[in-house]
Amino acid sequence: MKARRRSPHQWDEERLVRRVSKGDREAFDELYRRTSPWLAVRLRRRCADDQIVAEVMQETYLAVWRAAGAFAGSAVDGTAAGWLWTIAARRLVDAFRRRAHHADVPAEVFAQASAPAAEDVALAGTVDGEVGDALRRLAPELRQVLQAMVLDGFSVKETAVLLGLPEGTVKTRARRARIAMRKALT
């Protein structure tokens, strides 16, 4: 007797990406179903323009469909969620650049929500002790720059576009954040 094929909803995200790389539409649908809600929330935290978020979501999942074979996964200590976020974050920066090139981006696109971001809550839950305390004591504008550059891996230029700040301001805030963290941890 043949063994029953497990359904995609039983697979982890890495296995889903691997199946997507082989053209498995059902695996792609399951990956989208699992990851799109948190990805949309994370993008909306950085961009208040629903149209840009929708475009970035579409571009991200199109890239996933086309380039799933390039996913290295656990072989390089990566995760499917991290890979998806990297694609989405870069697409978001690209969208900001396109918009800035074609027209002035409204200030509300860069507005920050008053609720804490999911990653801030997660970070607070996982980073404790002196480092967690030091992070929580940082001014919000310093924490945003630190998050974008250190946690999300953006360059100074990408962080500037993402936060709607001049590059010099990003550099200054990054330096101030490092000094404050160093001071708090000594």
Give the CA angle between residues 142, 144, 146 to the nearest 5°: 70
| Global confidence as pTM | 0.56
Mean pLDDT of the chain: 78
The string of pLDDT tens digits covering residues 4-38 is 456 666 788 888 999 999 999 999 999 999 999 99
65: number of CA atoms within 13 Å, CB side? 13
Token look-up 């649908």 returns: 29
The string of pLDDT tens digits covering residues 42-97 is 898 888 889 999 999 999 999 999 988 888 766 656 788 888 888 998 898 888 87
The type of residue at 90 is: R
The string of pLDDT tens digits covering residues 91-135 is 988 888 787 665 554 555 555 444 455 445 444 444 456 776 777
